[in-house]
Amino acid sequence: MSMRFLLAGYATAILAVMLSCAIAGRGVRRMRGLNWLMAALGSAFVGVVLIAARSHISNFFSIVVANVFIFGYYALLHQALADLLERDLRVRRLGLGLAVFLAGAFYLYGCHTDQLQVRIVIVCAVVAIQAGASLILVLGHEDEALRYQLRSVGSLLLAVLVFQVGRAIITLVWSPGSDFLQPNQLHAFMGFLYCILALAIVGAIIWLGVSLQQRELERLANTDALTGLLNRRAFDRIVKQELAGAMLEPESVCLVLLDLDYFKSINDTHGHQVGDEVIRQVGRLLGACTRSTDYVARYGGEEFAMLLTRINRPRAEAAAERLRCAISSISGLPEEIHTTASFGIAMNRAGENLHSFFARSDEALYLSKRSGRNRVQVHTGLLKPALVYTES
């Protein structure tokens, strides 16, 4: 197998992947780590071209500079992973130190004395160390929703590490000859596997990046920008799902609507920025005081909605009362504002739909406001036609 032919194919594949990344980068929301990924591919491309041009350029460029660029591919992949996973790079100096060591060793064993066997062992050791550092980075990131993507990247990094160790051992046992561009069949096959693994890692990282980006877009579509809670659309969808699951289990799901009292006067007196801070702090409290099985949303303006699952009426009323007291006790609000909230709660009925469920809770909230505010009202009677909830 001609090594130049293999390098030409590898360079072409790198260019194709770089083009794909450039096209992806023109999207509405740029993927994190994409710039580092393209830099890694560019580094690999330069290294491959310099190696392929060995008979036309000096050994310094075709051996020393080329292999530093090849190693730069793995160091920059590490940067891309750190950017994707939003991890601090505590081993940033490792890549620089390994690159300096590699340059010095290859200058010694490539320019002064031509010892291909030693150079291969050195580059295997350096790449294995860098792959190990990247593997530790991936293993330290726990995310159940991305377990398959993380396992793919981790498995390929482990494969690179094992491959480099195996390649170093084989090189020590079976000499690769004196000309890197004219290897024997075994070393040519190992070079082919090396190229496949290197490109496979890029594919796995892109898969991880796209998955992270998709999840981030879903989060933005389902959350309120001011509070970080669910927005109205996401909350309505969840309520429909929970009602369908509890269709034959009445009095097992509770809908709580709460509205901050006299909030308009806060905006009028202190301005909208102060009003936004009040909403943020109330939202933070609601999110911190609910169970993992419950759902909280900013439903619109100063109104919040909560869905309490697997709960009965007395426990739901007690939970709402605790939240009412907690809101009225919030301290540290701007301008020493004191805020309260009115609550309306309703338990689900057999076969109830979204409109009826919200209408009964909204009716209870209306009665809470009419009865003096800063109180919890449970819906127990029949629905009043004038208060029927309509979805906007």
3-class secondary structure, 257: strand
Note the pLDDT of residue 103: 80
Two structure tokens written together for 221: 């579509």
Q: How far apart are CA 376 and CA 258, in angstroms?
A: 9
Better pLDDT: 300 or 248: 300
Using 50, 70 and 90 to split pLDDT, how confident is the model at 166? very high
List the structure tokens of 267. Answer: 């905006």
Average pLDDT over all residues of the chain? 87
C-alpha span between 145 and 336 (Å, rounded): 42
- Summarize the confidence of residues 274-287 as an average pLDDT: 93
What per-residue confidence (pLDDT) applies to 160? Answer: 95
The pLDDT value recorded for residue 100 is 82
Percent over 90 (pLDDT), the chain: 51
Decide if 283 contacts 356 (C-beta within 8 A). no
Report how far apart, in Å, the C-alpha atoms of 217 and of each of 211, 214, 220, 283 are: 10, 5, 5, 21
pTM of the model: 0.72
User: Using only C-alpha atoms, what is the Rg of the chain?
Assistant: 31
Phi, psi values for residue 122, rounded to 5°: -65, -45
Residues 39-60: pLDDT tens digits? Answer: 999 999 999 999 888 888 888 8
For residue 307, the cross-strand partners are: 255, 295
pLDDT at 112: 64
Give residue 362's pLDDT band: very low, low, confident or very high (50, 70, 90): very high
Q: Averaged over 223-245, what is the pLDDT?
A: 93
User: Is residue 91 a contact partner of residue 133, using CB atoms and an 8 Å limit?
Assistant: yes
Task: Assign 350 a pLDDT band (cuts: 50, 70, 90).
Answer: confident
Question: What confidence tens digit (pLDDT) does each residue in 94-134 have?
Answer: 777 777 887 887 777 666 677 888 888 988 999 999 999 99
CA distances from 67 to 30, 61, 120, 131 (A): 30, 9, 10, 16
